Chain A
Amino acid sequence: MAGNREFANRRLHSLLGVIPLGIFVIQHLVVNHYATNGVESFNKAANFMGGLPFRIFLETFIIFLPLAYHAIYGIYIAFTAKNNVGRYSYFRNWMFMLQRLTGIITLIFVAWHLWETRIAAARGSDVNFDMMSNILDNPFMVAFYIIGIVSTTFHFANGLWSFAVTWGLTISPRAQRITTYVTMVIFVALSYVGISAILAFV
């Protein structure tokens, strides 16, 4: 225990998972939900988001840099665990394993999703309803997007639970149990918002 970097690094990782990444995920899913009101409604919202002032600055500091830090460090954390749900099949041990698994699924999904949308936009495509309905033309992609979204919302919701423990907000078993219920409600609610938006493009 000579060094002293890990504590600060882990706390930064935890903080970035909620602020800004978690806030961004909620915002992103809610804005996408405009798709359920039709093509016009979604395009208006997408244009508003795409036309925000200082967009590159916002994207870099609210999304790309925090995501890169959280994802790269998250993979390191995930691979230093030796999962043992076979021997110790307790609820929290399953959540521990799923937090790491969904982190990796989310990373694969986000990388693909960025490639198809943000990087495509940088190379000249228009981000609009048609772009998404073309992507989701294929039932395989619909499944991939739904898995990606559910994985992200689980990772975020269960991450909120561990965030509360990491910072010492929930200490007693009762506080931690109630937070489990609250975060699982958040998981279901965000998954509903995300999946209903996806199905609107199909």
Chain B
Amino acid sequence: MAENKNVRFIITRQDNPDSAPYQVEFVLPYRPNMNVISALMEIRRNPVQANGDKTAPITWDMNCLEEVCGACSMVINGKPRQACTALVDQLEQPIRLEPMRTFPVIRDLQVDRSRMFDSLKKVKAWIPIDGTYDLGPGPRMPERKRQWAYELSKCMTCGVCLEACPNVNSSSDYIGPQPLSQVRLFNAHPTGAMNAPERLNAIMGDGGIASCGMSQNCVQSCPKGIPLTTSIAALNRDTTIQSFRNFFGSDR
């Protein structure tokens, strides 16, 4: 039975960053436990379209193959997610693959996610501990805090939350939920907290936290279940207080 079952794919391709997208159909033999990546590999092995024309293999990104690197994110049947954990058995056919257009498309399903890494630099999403001598161990973190902070640290910079957000688009400079939640993570760290005002001031800049319009698509879409809207609301409170401190002056 399974031997002669087929899987249909409709893939949105694009030859270079500036050319127009077009759709191509592929039909491949079904194999048990197939996922979208293994299907793309099968197309790469035998790049023949459903109409019989030979074509160039599809371009896409991947790395870990276990949903921890975020590289293989693409829009699958209308929803952004990771291709490596998208099981063919659980997808409605034809399976439609598109690139995440919130990001610049490099080719086919491959996009340039560097804006997220640039945002992490802008919001100082790290803990500065380098110095000329050993500063010794930092303060301890309360276990209760560690538990929720750990959830935030699962972010793999995949870009799904930016793709789902109505306010991240070409007419807005909003950085999106992902770097904001990282600010909450690093501000929660006992050593990172020493630089909390710098990070808060960074997200109070243009395109920062104020651009969030609370559609809350991000929290519904994040594959890691990160409480992004809780992070944003908590940072709204922190930036409210920070803005008062900036205006009136403060002892910290």
A positions within 8 Å CB-CB of B? 1-11, 77, 79-84, 87-88, 90, 92-93, 96-97, 99, 162, 165-173, 176
A9: B residues at CB distance < 8 A = 210
Which interface class (under 10, 10 to 19, 20 to 34, 35 or more) fits B? 35 or more
Does the CB pair A80–B215 fall under 8 Å? Answer: no
B79 and A171 contact, CB distance less than 8 A: no
Query: Do the beta carbons of B233 and A1 come within 8 Å of each other?
Result: no
Most chain B CB within a 10 A radius of its CB, from A5, A162, A166: A166
Main secondary structure of the interface of A (DSSP, over half): helix
Across the interface, name the chain A residue whose C-beta is closest to B171: A80
Cβ A3 vs Cβ B205 within 8 A: yes
Can you report 6 residue pairs joining A to B where beta carbons are below 8 Å apart? A1-B206, A2-B205, A81-B167, A93-B216, A99-B213, A165-B233
Most buried by A among B78, B172, B206: B206
One of B122, B173, B202, B221 near A88 (C-beta < 8 A): B221
Cβ-defined partner of B233 (8 Å) among A88, A99, A176: A176
Query: For B79, what are the chain A residues with a Cβ–Cβ distance below 8 Å?
Result: 87
Query: Is A93 a contact of B217 with CB atoms below 8 Å?
Result: yes
Chain A residue nearest to B78 (CB atoms) is A87
Q: Which B-chain residue is minimally distant from A88 (CB atoms)?
A: B217
Beta-carbon contact of B243 and A6 below 8 Å = no
| Closest residue of B by beta carbon distance from A78 | B213
B residues in contact with A88, CB < 8 Å: 164, 215, 217, 220-221
Q: A14 to nearest B CB, angstroms? A: 9
| Partner among B164, B217, B234, B239 whose Cβ is within 8 Å of the Cβ of A171 | B234
Which residues of the other chain, B, contact A11 by a CB distance below 8 angstroms?
210, 240, 243
Residues of the B chain whose Cβ atoms lie less than 8 Å from the Cβ of A168:
233-240
Give 1 or 0 for each of B185-227: 1 = CB within 8 Å of chain A CB.
0000000000000000010111111110111110011000001
Query: What separation, in Å, do the CA atoms of A98 and B202 have in the docked complex?
Result: 30
- Inter-chain contacts of B12 with A (CB < 8 A): none
**Chain B residues within an 8 Å CB radius of A176:** 229, 233
A9 and B210 alpha carbons, distance in the complex (Å): 9
Q: Please give, as numbers and ranges, the residues of chain A lying within 8 Å of B232 by CB-CB distance.
A: 165
Contacts of B221 in A (CB 8 A): 88
Q: Are B214 and A162 in contact (CB under 8 A)?
A: yes
Minimum Cβ distance to chain B for residue A100 (Å): 8
Q: Indicate if B85 sits at the interface (CB-CB under 8 A).
A: no
Contact A1 B216 (CB under 8 A): no
Shortest CB–CB separation between residue B151 and chain A, in angstroms?
13
Residues of B within 8 A of A99 (CB): 213
Contact among B171, B175, B213, B243 with A1 in the assembled complex (CB-CB below 8 Å) = B175
**Are A165 and B236 neighbours in the complex by a CB distance under 8 Å?**
yes
**In the bound complex, do residue A7 and residue B208 qualify as a contact, i.e. CB atoms below 8 Å apart?**
yes
Closest to A90 in B: B220
